[in-house]
Amino acid sequence: MNQEHVQQLEAAIQAVAQRKVSNFYFVACGGSLANVTPAQYILDREIEIPSAAYSSNEFIHRSPKALGPSSVVITCSHSGNTPETVAATAFAREKGALTICLTNLVDSPLWEAAEFKLHYNYAPYGEALRGEETSMAILYRLVFGILQTLYPNEKYANAISSIENGLHGVYERNKALTLDAAKAFGRNYKREKLIYTMASGINYSVAYSFAICLLQEMQWIHSSAIHSGEYFHGPFEITDFDVPFIVIKGLGETRPLDDRAYDFCVKYSDKTILIDAETFDLEGISPDVRSYFTNLVAGVVLRQYAQHLSEETGHALSVRRYMWKMEY
Amino acid sequence: MNQEHVQQLEAAIQAVAQRKVSNFYFVACGGSLANVTPAQYILDREIEIPSAAYSSNEFIHRSPKALGPSSVVITCSHSGNTPETVAATAFAREKGALTICLTNLVDSPLWEAAEFKLHYNYAPYGEALRGEETSMAILYRLVFGILQTLYPNEKYANAISSIENGLHGVYERNKALTLDAAKAFGRNYKREKLIYTMASGINYSVAYSFAICLLQEMQWIHSSAIHSGEYFHGPFEITDFDVPFIVIKGLGETRPLDDRAYDFCVKYSDKTILIDAETFDLEGISPDVRSYFTNLVAGVVLRQYAQHLSEETGHALSVRRYMWKMEY
């Protein structure tokens, strides 16, 4: 991790530590919202201070009454230009909240709007990119850094060293491990018009981003992210032999929900695709925090699935019909 | 409202008032989760005490660290037999939380699990049912009753009297007003294999329940509830002339999100169906709380849409292939 990132993180973490915090808000849109939501899950499990995640415009218009000087608002936009997220950051800052942004673009409108600014690196397919410099790594460094500062703990130290020393290798090894599966997915599912995704707990955000960004946005394939626990209370009735589902099974606490959903789904759909964190190579991630890292690995694995689907459909992941092409 | 309901509500409200509450949790599955979520929205806007909504099994397995004796946990299951919700109620009670359940079935396992118990009435299509005795009316009486007890206020008194005196007539009149539109919806959309729903704020829960209960569960039609603000960050790329969307426009604070999504959607999809709260007859609901009641009316209106869709598809709303027919 370079010095610039270390200094930015340290400044943000110290600012949080010096404030009497009554709540955390994670605010972003689309894929960036999916990216920040796992941090809310981690805080929910680890501390008693409440936290919530909102889509940026919902946050502004809902205007939660608890937003104020004792709030920490963490926002994220890759381009740094997402108008709703820039506005949400300015809105939170006006209310006196401590604002921290994550973005790929230094000096962007988001960068200017937030009091504390965290830059992350990015390469579209991650080839030349160090895993510990991506948005998720910076976010996790922030969250576990805050936890470690407020409640020093071996587990949090382990999480931080896992990001620093383990994450990059884990990404590379699991991409290699799942390359054949990704190619088979592309070949076998290239004619599908609809693919559901399913997960729970910290992995739900991956099901959501795969549904809305990779399938709907980048492949024009219909989708919906179904929560593994909600599946049995409505959605499971559309399960049939020819309806495709991608089921992500996590590790640890919410895995029983995913097991149950998968067991039912695979019985009635011949097109059930399993992404199972138990098959991931997580060497380098400390065992006591592995359940918090499965979503990062599932995200990288599924990105490779989408890449090979795209090669088979002939529809490049970069093609859009509306986004960036018009006013909306 | 009958005396039994009044006494049950009074006991629950007084119990909340006598406790130092640090957080509220709303916990249920599927349609019942959709039903309780609007209460979380109302609390988010009205008070600084944090609140959150979870699917029952997610709640148990996630096990939020803030859950404890200063928590109020409100659970709901129509049958009173939903195993995850019964377990979530018992789990919360073991942690010392104040538990309040809503159910149609007195003496059900859920009724036994919760410390405070609220019964509601139900008729499948609402014909002979008084609007002020339904699950939503009882939930709103509870929430506005808590608010009124903690922070006495004319607005909360108006909300309570709107439930008592206005809701039933509003339901009846808006069903009559939208009957022709419901029949046209059934005729025109009976061959669709997929229908998206879209809303924001307090109405998102209606988009969600229509997608997972009415369309997926009861009609085997593919669906996904898209948040109006999230639409532009992925999902809008699947919009096309032949892709159906039901867009719910609320009143008040989050309506600008719905306006923007509708304006885009209707431009590119020839199958955009609008449910607009501005066209509802809300006489009898106090103007200062109308934005909190649009979801109730949209739910009743859309139930009638589903009924007429069902008549045209020949697929009765009561037909299931898995639910209640096997172990899962």
- Contact residues, A window 70-89, toward B, CB-based 8 Å cutoff: 82, 84
For residue B31, what are its two tokens? 């349609």
Look-up of token digits 């992500």 = A248
Cβ atoms of B156 and B148 within 8 Å: the answer is: yes
Q: Which has the closest alpha carbon to B89: B66, B70, B117? A: B117
Kind of pairing between the strands at A225-227 and A245-249: unpaired
- Residues of A in Cβ contact (< 8 Å) with B62: 41, 44-45, 201, 253-254
B128 — pLDDT class (breaks 50, 70, 90): low
What's the CA gap between B57 and B63, in Å, rounded? 10
Q: Measure Cα distances from A314 to A29, A243, A310 in Å.
A: 28, 22, 6
Does B56 sit within 8 Å of A45, measured CB to CB? no
Q: What's the domain range around B255?
A: 168-313
B123 — pLDDT class (breaks 50, 70, 90): low
Cβ atoms of B53 and B33 within 8 Å: the answer is: yes
Q: Which of B165, B198, B215 marks a domain boundary?
A: B165
Q: Which of B134, B165, B196 marks a domain boundary?
A: B165
| Predicted pLDDT of residue B237 | 98
Find which of A25, A238, A326 to mutate to test the B interface (most B CBs within 10 Å of its CB): A238
State how far residue A45 is from chain B, nearest Cα, in angstroms. Answer: 5
Residues B111, B15, single domain; the answer is yes
Does residue B129 carry a pLDDT above 80? no
For residue B42, what are its two tokens? 């109302």
The pLDDT profile of chain A, 328 residues, written as one tens digit per residue, is: 789 999 999 999 999 999 999 999 999 999 999 999 999 999 999 999 999 999 999 999 999 999 999 999 999 999 999 999 999 999 999 999 999 999 999 999 999 999 999 999 875 554 556 778 899 999 999 999 999 999 999 999 999 999 999 999 999 999 999 999 999 999 999 999 999 999 999 999 999 999 999 999 999 999 999 999 999 999 999 999 999 999 999 998 999 999 999 999 999 999 999 999 999 999 999 999 999 999 999 999 999 999 999 999 999 999 999 999 999 9
Residues A85, A186, single domain; the answer is no
Q: Domain containing A84 — which CATH number?
A: 3.40.50.10490
Whether residue A307 is contained in a domain is answered as yes
Residues A209, A68, single domain; the answer is no
Residues A152, A7, single domain; the answer is yes
B130 — pLDDT class (breaks 50, 70, 90): confident
Cβ atoms of A155 and A140 within 8 Å: the answer is: no
| Predicted pLDDT of residue B122 | 77
Whether residue A236 is contained in a domain is answered as yes
Whether residue A308 is contained in a domain is answered as yes
Residue B97 identity (one-letter amino acid): A
B23 — pLDDT class (breaks 50, 70, 90): very high
Does B220 sit within 8 Å of A254, measured CB to CB? no
What's the CA gap between A197 and A115, in Å, rounded? 36
Angle at A51 between CA A45 and CA A54, to 5 degrees: 125
Does residue B126 carry a pLDDT above 70? no
pLDDT digits (tens, 9 = 90+) for B160-189: 999 999 999 999 999 999 999 999 999 999
pLDDT digits (tens, 9 = 90+) for B71-106: 999 999 999 999 999 999 999 999 999 999 999 999
Whether residue B309 is contained in a domain is answered as yes
Residues 6+ apart with CB under 8 A from B24: B40, B43, B49, B50, B51, B52, B71, B72, B73, B74
Does B33 sit within 8 Å of A58, measured CB to CB? no
Residues B152, B134, single domain; the answer is yes
Residue B251 identity (one-letter amino acid): L
Quick check: A146 contacting B, CB < 8 Å? no
Quick check: A284 contacting B, CB < 8 Å? no
- Residues of A in Cβ contact (< 8 Å) with B65: 44-48
For residue A258, what are its two tokens? 């995913």
Of B55, B235, B260, the CB nearest to A230: B55
Find which of B58, B206, B240 to mutate to test the A interface (most A CBs within 10 Å of its CB): B58
Cβ atoms of B28 and B84 within 8 Å: the answer is: no
| Predicted pLDDT of residue A127 | 53
What's the CA gap between B86 and B71, in Å, rounded? 17
Q: Which of B121, B138, B165 marks a domain boundary?
A: B165
Does B29 sit within 8 Å of A229, measured CB to CB? yes
3-state secondary structure B224-277: CEEECCCHHHCHHHHCCCCCCEEEEECCHHHHHHHHHHHHHHHHHCCCEEEEEH
Nearest chain A residue to B267, by CA:
A328
| Predicted pLDDT of residue A69 | 98
Average pLDDT over residues B105-118: 98
Does B254 sit within 8 Å of A30, measured CB to CB? no
Whether residue A68 is contained in a domain is answered as yes
State how far residue B35 is from chain A, nearest Cα, in angstroms. Answer: 13
Residues B273, B247, single domain; the answer is yes
Residues B80, B136, single domain; the answer is yes
Tally of CB atoms within 10 A around B130? 15
Nearest chain A residue to B47, by CA:
A65
Whether residue A326 is contained in a domain is answered as no
What's the CA gap between A102 and B131, in Å, rounded? 47
Q: Is the dihedral of CA B250, B256, B258, B264 positive or negative?
A: positive
Residues in chain B: 328
Nearest chain B residue to A261, by CA:
B328
Residues B132, B219, single domain; the answer is no
pLDDT digits (tens, 9 = 90+) for A142-191: 999 999 999 999 999 999 999 999 999 999 999 999 999 999 999 999 99
Quick check: A242 contacting B, CB < 8 Å? no
State how far residue A25 is from chain B, nearest Cα, in angstroms. Answer: 11
What's the CA gap between A210 and B66, in Å, rounded? 30
What's the CA gap between B16 and B19, in Å, rounded? 5
Residues B161, B172, single domain; the answer is no
Does A62 sit within 8 Å of B44, measured CB to CB? yes
| Predicted pLDDT of residue B212 | 98
- Residues of B in Cβ contact (< 8 Å) with A232: 29-30, 328
Whether residue B53 is contained in a domain is answered as yes
For residue A223, what are its two tokens? 């989708």
Does A229 sit within 8 Å of B84, measured CB to CB? yes
State how far residue B118 is from chain A, nearest Cα, in angstroms. Answer: 22
Residues A16, A161, single domain; the answer is yes
Average pLDDT over residues B107-136: 84
Does A256 sit within 8 Å of B61, measured CB to CB? yes
Quick check: A211 contacting B, CB < 8 Å? yes
Number of domains making up chain A: 2
Of B56, B229, B268, the CB nearest to A58: B229
Name the helix (H) or strand (E) containing A53. strand A51-55
Find which of B43, B238, B325 to mutate to test the A interface (most A CBs within 10 Å of its CB): B238
Nearest chain A residue to B225, by CA:
A224
| Predicted pLDDT of residue A128 | 53
- Residues of B in Cβ contact (< 8 Å) with A84: 229
Whether residue B197 is contained in a domain is answered as yes
The rounded percent of chain B whose pLDDT value lies above 70 is 98
| Predicted pLDDT of residue A310 | 98
What's the CA gap between A225 and A206, in Å, rounded? 9
Does A322 sit within 8 Å of B29, measured CB to CB? no
Residues B224, B275, single domain; the answer is yes
Quick check: A260 contacting B, CB < 8 Å? yes
Tally of CB atoms within 10 A around A98? 22
Average pLDDT over residues B297-301: 97
Cα-flanking dihedrals φ and ψ of residue A273, to 5°?
Answer: -105, 125
Nearest chain A residue to B214, by CA:
A234
Residues A129, A17, single domain; the answer is yes
